[in-house]
Structure 1
Amino acid sequence: MLLTLHDVVLVGLSASKLIELPYLDNEMKRLLQLVAVVLMYRINWKKLFVVVAIMTTAGMVLQTYTLPYPMATWFLPPQTMVSSYKSLNGSTVHLTETLSLESAEQFQLVPTAPVVSLNSSTELVKSVPIVEERAQVSPRRNPSSRRRRKNAKIDKTNEQKVVFHPPPPRTVPTRLQRYIWSLPPDEALLFAKREIQNVSTVTDDPELYASLFHNVFCFQKELQCCINSRSYELMETILKVYIYPDGARPIFHAPHLRGIYASEGWFMKLMEENRQFVTRDPKKAHLFYLPYSARQLETALYVPNSHNIRPLSIFLRDHVNMIAAKYPFWNRTHGSDHFLVACHDWGPYTVNEHQELSRNTIKALCNADLSEGIFVAGKDVSLPETTIRNPRRPLRNVGGRRVSQRPILAFFAGNMHGRVRPTLLKYWSDKDEDMRIYGPLPNRISKKMSYIQHMKSSRFCICPMGYEVNSPRIVEAIYYECVPVIIADNFVPPLNDVLDWTAFSVIVAEKDIPKLKEILLAIPLRRYLVMQTNVKMVQKHFLWNPKPVRYDLFHMILHSIWFSRLNQIQISVS
C-alpha cells in the first residue's frame, strides 16, 4: 500500500499518532515504527563509515592470505615473467623474479653490446645481460619526492615497483690469461714484448683517436714508440707494481695535490689507491715504484736562498741505498725495473748523487730537457705539468669556446723569468692588437677578462719555457681547447713516445720568436680547425679523474712507463 504525501508529512509528527492510523496493518505499523526511531534519534555517520571500512579491509586481507584464488586476481593486471638471460660462459640462467605489467611498461629489456675480452688473439666472449632501460617519461619531477626520500619510514605503497637487477656476469679468465698470470715476471714481460713485435692486425679501439698518435695500430721497430690497443690491453692484463712502504712523511707517501707540481702528487695518490695494478707481493711485480715527492723534498730540506740543492740529492741517494740493502730487487736489475715520478723543476737534479738511479731508473719528469743529459729519450717519460687549483674539483673549468667565439689570435701572460719570456715581450708586448702578450696580467685587463677567459677566447695559446723547459700552460691550453704554441728548445713534449704533437700543437724555435705572428697566420683555416678538433679529442688523455678511467692521464703515464720497461728487454735472435 502506498502512502500519500499527506501521510509522509504525518510520519514526522509523532510516532504515536502515526501508528494510530486506521488503514495500516500490523506489518506496516512495525515498519513505520522503525522509520520513526531513525528519524527521532541522530546517527553518527562518521563512526559508522569507519567501522564499515575496517571490516571491509579486514575481509579482503583475510581472503588474500587464506584463499587459493584471492579476490586480488579478479582486478589486478597479469604479471610478466622474465625467463632467462645469457651468461658469459654461454649457459642460460633462469630468473624466477617477476615484474608487474605496470612496471614492465616503464622498462624495456634490451641486450647490451657484446663484452670483448682483452685478449685479441682469442675468440670473442659475448655476453647479453638484461639491462633495464627507462621508457620515455615526462622530465618534470615531483617536488615532494625529495621530502619522501628524507623520511626514515618509507610508505609501503611506493615499494610496489621493484626493479629487478640481474647479477653481474662473472668475468671468466681465458686460457691465455691464466697462462700469462702463471708466468714469472721476467717471462711475462718477454711474452708481452714478443706479442707486440709480432702483432699483425689490431682491432680498432673506438676510445683512441688515430690522428693524435704516432701509430695506433702497428709497432714501429725503428722508433720504438707507439701506442696500440694490444700494448695497452697487455698492460691491463699483465702489469703489477710494487710500492715500497719505506720512507717517512711528508717526503714519502704524502701526495701534494695543488699547484703547478700537482702531477707527481696525483699520480702517487692514484697509484697507492689502485687495486688493479698494485701488488703487495714484490716477487710478482714487474715494476717497483719509489713514492717520493720532489716538491715535498724541496719544502722539507732546502734552505731558502742557499742555492744549494745537493742535500736533496744526498737524501735520495741514502734512501735508495737503504732500499738496495733491505730488498734484493734493486741489485737484481741495478734499478732498471724501478721508476720515480717528479714534476718539480729540481726533479732531475735530485738523482745526480746516485749513479744507478740516474742512469738506469725510469724517470717520469716534467723537466724533460735533453740538453742536460739527465733525461734520456726512449727510456724516461716526459710528465705533463698540470695546474690544479682545487684538489676536490680537479676538472673545474675544463672546456672552451667555439672557434667563432675566439677573436684573439694569440695570448700569453706570466712572470718574467728564463731566457725566452723576456724576448717574447720584447717583440710582441703592446705591438699588435691580435697578439695579447703580457707579463703578469694587468689588473685593468683582468677585471674585464680573467686569465682563463683569455685562454678560452684565443685561437693560439703561447707556452714559452720559464726557468726550465717545461710549462704548465701546455696542459692548460688543452684544458681550455686552445691550440698550444710551444717555445722551448730541447724540450720533449709530454707523452711524446705515444702522442703526435704536430697534430694538435705548434712548435716554434726560440730563434723564430720575431716571426711568431707570421708563422701563426700561415696556418690555413682548414688546418687550424683540424688542430683545434684534435685538441678537444686529446683532452681526455690529460685529465686527472678522481677515479681513473681508461686512457686518462694516470693510465697514459703508467702505459709510457710500462712501455719503456718493455723497450729495455732484448730478445735473442735464436
Structure 2
Amino acid sequence: MKRAFKQTGFILLRGLSWCCFGHKIEWRRFSAMVAVLTVSAYALQMLVLTHLVQPNRPLPSHKQTHYPSYISSNSSLQKVHLTLTNSVISPNKSNKLVQLFSAEQENVELQGPLVQRKSSVYGSNKDTNLADTTKVAHSLSPRRHVPKQRQVWLLPPNEALVYAKKEIDHPPSVSEDPNLYAPIFRNISVFQRSYELMETILKVYIYSDGSRPIFHKPPLKGIYASEGWFMKLMEENKQFVTKDPEKAHLFYLPYSARQMELTLYVPGSHNLKPLSIYLRDYVNKIAAKYPFWNRTHGSDHFLVACHDWGPYTVTGHEELKRNAIKALCNADLSERIFVAGRDVSLPETTVRAPRRPLRYLGGNRASLRPILAFFAGSMHGRVRPTLLNYWGGEKDEDMKIYKRLPLRVSRRMTYIQHMKSSKYCLCPMGFEVNSPRIVEAIYYECVPVIIADNFVLPFNEVLDWSAFSVVVAEKDIPRLKEILLSIPIRKYLTMQNNVKMVQKHFLWNSRPIRYDLFHMILHSIWFNKLNQIHTHQM
C-alpha cells in the first residue's frame, strides 16, 4: 500500500515539475492545477481508507450485545462514543424521569459499526490481522416506535394531562434533592415529579379580551398584591404561555378582583352584584367568541383573585363557580364557593415596595426571640376581639397582643421588629379567613399560629403545614399560652428551621426562579387540574 502511495505521489510531482520547468509560470493556471491535484490526492486517500476500515466479519445481533460491555475495564478502546439519540436534557439535572431513553421502554435497536482501531495497528507490527485489532461499538439508533415519554410535549393537551396524571400517581422515590427540603412536603416524590412534568408539558393561553383597568392591569402593592404579581409575571412569561390556544392545557382569565372593587363597587352600598354580573358577561363573551370554554364547560380555565371579595365575583356564572379553578386568598370552605382539591388557596402577601418585594426579609435566631407570641392589628371579625379579650392589654408579659401597635411601643420596637423578636406570630382571621400575617411570619422566620376555622392553608395539597406552623381552633383561644408552652423546645427549633426552609416558596421575584411563589401558584393550579382526571379517563 505504501508503494502505491509513493508511485502516485512521484507521478504527480513529475507532472508538476514538467509544467513548471523552462516555462514562465502563469500563476492562475498553476493555482488551478495545484487545486486539482490536491482534490485528486484526497479522493484517492479516502477511497483507500474506506477500504481499510470495512469489517471482514458480520456484526453480532443486538440481542446478543449489551452496551455496558463496551466500557468495561478490559476494553482496549481508547475512546468510545455512545450516542444516546433518545435522551432529552431536563431543566432539572436531577430529573431522571423525563428522559427519552428509559429502561421501561422497548429494547433499543443497535445499528451501524463505529470502529476504533488499536494503537498497535499504526505501530511496527504490520502483519497483524485487521479483524483481530479492531473493536466494534454500536451507537443507539432511534426507535421505530417513539414512546410517549419522548414526545409527551407533542401530545394533544388531553392526552398529555392523562400521561402526567399517571406519572404522579406512581412517582419514583426521591432520596435527596438539593433544591427541595423534604420535611416541609407531604410527599416530596409526588411534588418533584409533578413540578418537573409542569415544566416539560404545561402551556397556558391568556385571553387578550377584557378592558383595563379590570383586566391586564395588575395591582403590585398592598395586601392584595398576590393577584397582581401573578398576572404580571404570567403575562410576561415565555416558558409556559402559548399563543396557540389549541396547544393550551389551561386558559387564564386575567382579571383583578381588587381593580374590580375600585372600578365597580359603590362605597357604602354593600352590593357586590355588579361585580359578579361584570365577570359573568365577560365569560359569556369569550364563550361565544371562542370554542374553548364550551368544550370543557370551563374546567380547564382558571382565575387568580386575592381580594376578600374574590369568591363573590364568580357567583353570577354557574359554570365559572362550579367548574373553573379558582386561586383565592379567601379560601373559606364554609362559604361553599371554594372547593378543596379543585381550587387553590392563594397566599396573601403584603408588598410595600414593588421594586423591592423582598425587603426586610429574615429574622433573629431562636435565642434572640424573647417574646412568646405577638399580634397587632385591627379588631374586625369574630376572632380578634376574643383574642384581645383574653390576652390583650399587656395582661401577660409573654403575650404581646395589641389592637394597633401603640405609639409608645412602636417607638421602641417597630411592628416588623416585634415579628423578628417573637417565637410565635399569631395569624387570626379578620373579616375573612385569610391573613397576610401568615406570609409575613414566614418572611421574618417566626413560626405562624393560624387561628381560623374552615381555612384551607396555602399550597395545602403539597406542603405539610404541621412541620412549620401551629393551627389553633377558635374555641381554644383561652388555652393559647398553654398550647404554645406545651410545645417542646426541640420541636420549636425544628419548626423554626422549617420556616426558613419553606420561605423560598413564598417569595416574589421580578424574574421568577424555580420553586418561588409564582411557580408554586402555577404548580398548584396544574396539580389540581390533574386531580380532576378520573380513572375512567385513563
- For the criterion TM > 0.5, the same-fold answer is yes
Asked whether the 8 Å contact 2:98–2:149 carries over to 1, the reply is no
In 2, the alpha carbon distance for the partners of 1:342 and 1:349 equals 10
1:236 CA displacement = 0.3
In 2, the alpha carbon distance for the partners of 1:423 and 1:293 equals 33
Asked whether the 8 Å contact 2:314–2:321 carries over to 1, the reply is yes
Asked whether the 8 Å contact 2:371–2:400 carries over to 1, the reply is yes
1:228 CA displacement = 2.3
Of 428, 444, 455, the residue aligned with 1:491 is 455
1:229 CA displacement = 1.4
Asked whether the 8 Å contact 2:451–2:474 carries over to 1, the reply is yes
| TM score, norm. by length of structure 1 | 0.69
Equivalent residues in 2 for 1:320-331 (5 A)? 320-331=283-294
**Secondary structure of the structure 2 residue equivalent to 1:297:** helix
Asked whether the 8 Å contact 2:512–2:518 carries over to 1, the reply is yes
- 1:273 is aligned to 2:245: no
| Pair 88,118 (structure 1): closer, same or farther in 2 beyond 3 Å | farther
Aligned identity (percent) is 73
In 2, the alpha carbon distance for the partners of 1:345 and 1:306 equals 16
| Pair 498,399 (structure 1): closer, same or farther in 2 beyond 3 Å | same
In 2, the alpha carbon distance for the partners of 1:87 and 1:356 equals 57
In 1, the alpha carbon distance for the partners of 2:192 and 2:216 equals 32
Of 211, 214, 239, the residue aligned with 2:186 is 214
Q: Which residue of 2 aligns with 1:567?
A: 531
Asked whether the 8 Å contact 1:253–1:291 carries over to 2, the reply is yes
Equivalent residues in 2 for 1:319-468 (5 A)? 319-429=282-392, 430-468=394-432
| Pair 87,536 (structure 1): closer, same or farther in 2 beyond 3 Å | farther
| Pair 198,521 (structure 1): closer, same or farther in 2 beyond 3 Å | closer
Asked whether the 8 Å contact 1:399–1:479 carries over to 2, the reply is yes
**Paired AA for residue 265 in structure 1:** G
Asked whether the 8 Å contact 1:189–1:566 carries over to 2, the reply is yes
Of 485, 488, 501, the residue aligned with 2:465 is 501
- 1:186 is aligned to 2:158: yes
- CA deviations on 1:93-145 (whole Å, 9 max, x unpaired) are xxxxxxxxxxxxxxxxxxxxx94556355559xxxxxxxxxxxxxxxxxxxxx
- 1:243 is aligned to 2:243: no
In 2, the alpha carbon distance for the partners of 1:200 and 1:456 equals 39
Aligned alpha-carbon RMSD (Å): 2.3
In 1, the alpha carbon distance for the partners of 2:306 and 2:224 equals 5
- CA deviations on 1:554-574 (whole Å, 9 max, x unpaired) are 111111100111111123388
| Pair 301,356 (structure 1): closer, same or farther in 2 beyond 3 Å | same
**Secondary structure of the structure 2 residue equivalent to 1:423:** helix
- 1:262 is aligned to 2:262: no
**Secondary structure of the structure 1 residue equivalent to 2:535:** coil
**Secondary structure of the structure 2 residue equivalent to 1:572:** helix
In 2, the alpha carbon distance for the partners of 1:532 and 1:199 equals 29
1:179 CA displacement = 1.1
- 1:478 is aligned to 2:442: yes
1:89 CA displacement = 6.6
**Paired AA for residue 409 in structure 1:** L
Asked whether the 8 Å contact 1:241–1:287 carries over to 2, the reply is yes
Q: Which residue of 1 aligns with 2:479?
A: 515
1:298 CA displacement = 0.3
Q: Please, which moves more after superposition, 301-310 or 207-216?
A: 207-216
- CA deviations on 1:509-542 (whole Å, 9 max, x unpaired) are 1111111111100001001000000000000000
Q: Which residue of 2 aligns with 1:143?
A: none
- CA deviations on 1:207-244 (whole Å, 9 max, x unpaired) are 11111011112xxxxxxxxx421111110000000000
**Paired AA for residue 505 in structure 2:** H
- CA deviations on 1:332-386 (whole Å, 9 max, x unpaired) are 0000000000000000000001000000000000000000100000000000000
In 2, the alpha carbon distance for the partners of 1:176 and 1:189 equals 12
- 1:119 is aligned to 2:83: no
1:471 CA displacement = 0.3
Asked whether the 8 Å contact 1:120–1:203 carries over to 2, the reply is no
In 2, the alpha carbon distance for the partners of 1:468 and 1:505 equals 20
| Pair 121,89 (structure 1): closer, same or farther in 2 beyond 3 Å | closer
Q: Which residue of 1 aligns with 2:248?
A: 285
Q: Which residue of 1 aligns with 2:170?
A: 198
Q: Which runs of 5+ in 2 are unaligned?
A: 1-79, 86-91, 103-145
**Paired AA for residue 184 in structure 2:** L
In 1, the alpha carbon distance for the partners of 2:266 and 2:405 equals 31
1:194 CA displacement = 1.4
**Secondary structure of the structure 2 residue equivalent to 1:207:** coil
**Paired AA for residue 315 in structure 2:** N
**Secondary structure of the structure 1 residue equivalent to 2:188:** coil
Asked whether the 8 Å contact 2:345–2:456 carries over to 1, the reply is yes
Asked whether the 8 Å contact 1:455–1:482 carries over to 2, the reply is yes
| Pair 541,323 (structure 1): closer, same or farther in 2 beyond 3 Å | same
Q: Which runs of 5+ in 1 are unaligned?
A: 1-85, 92-113, 125-173, 218-226
**Paired AA for residue 457 in structure 2:** P
**Paired AA for residue 472 in structure 1:** P
In 2, the alpha carbon distance for the partners of 1:437 and 1:568 equals 43
1:395 CA displacement = 0.3
| Pair 122,180 (structure 1): closer, same or farther in 2 beyond 3 Å | closer
1:197 CA displacement = 1.9
Asked whether the 8 Å contact 1:505–1:531 carries over to 2, the reply is yes
Asked whether the 8 Å contact 2:99–2:150 carries over to 1, the reply is no
Asked whether the 8 Å contact 1:214–1:498 carries over to 2, the reply is yes
**Paired AA for residue 397 in structure 1:** Y
Asked whether the 8 Å contact 1:255–1:266 carries over to 2, the reply is yes
- 1:233 is aligned to 2:209: no
Asked whether the 8 Å contact 2:100–2:149 carries over to 1, the reply is no
